[in-house]
A = this chain, B = another copy of it.
Amino acid sequence: MTPAVIQRWIDMIHDNRVDELDDLLADDAVFHSPALFKAQEGKAATATYLTAASKMFAGTDFRYVGQWFGERSAVLEFEATIDGVYVDGVDMIVWNDDEKITSFKVMIRPFKGLQVIMPRMAELLQSA
């Protein structure tokens, strides 16, 4: 069964209600980008990255295609097409006892998929 926090995340993305991130993220949430080594630390930085990603995928054929669950963590696989380029990725999500997300990591394949999202994300983050 899908953990409550994950169902909440999936519904939020599906309905494009990113304003709910403030309630879904822990204060000490960390975002690990598919491109950068350096983690983005804190709720505000994490929300900024997730909001930009959500904008990037809005209006595309983004869909979750697989899910794996651990104790207080999950891996969600997604697929999407951006500018005609196939993007296959995972959201790796960890949460705490209060059902708040503490860590959000993204990986993307293939190389061309990562290449197409990097300038898009940079642009969206600059205008954020």
Shortest Cβ gap from A120 to chain B (Å): 14
Neighbour of A89 across the interface among B32, B75, B107, B118, CB < 8 A: B107
Neighbour of A107 across the interface among B36, B69, B108, CB < 8 A: B108
Contact A109 B108 (CB under 8 A): yes
Which chain A residues numbered 73 to 128 have a C-beta less than 8 Å away from chain B?
73-75, 77, 86, 88-90, 92, 105-114, 118
Q: How many of these chains are in the complex?
A: 2
Contact A111 B107 (CB under 8 A): no
Report the Cα distance A70→B67, complex, angstroms: 7
If over half of A's interface residues share one DSSP class (helix, strand or loop), that class is named, otherwise mixed; here it is: strand
Shortest Cβ gap from A121 to chain B (Å): 11
Q: Which residues of B contact A112 (CB under 8 A)?
A: 37
A48 at interface, CB cutoff 8 A: no
Contact B68 A110 (CB under 8 A): no
Chain B minimum-CB-distance residue to A118: B111
Contact B111 A109 (CB under 8 A): no
A residues whose Cβ falls under 8 Å from a Cβ of B: 32-37, 66-70, 73-75, 77, 86, 88-90, 92, 105-114, 118
Taking A107-B109, A114-B114 as given, write out 7 further A-B residue pairs in contact, using a Cβ cutoff of 8 Å, ordered by the A residue number.
A36-B110, A37-B113, A68-B68, A75-B75, A77-B92, A107-B108, A111-B114
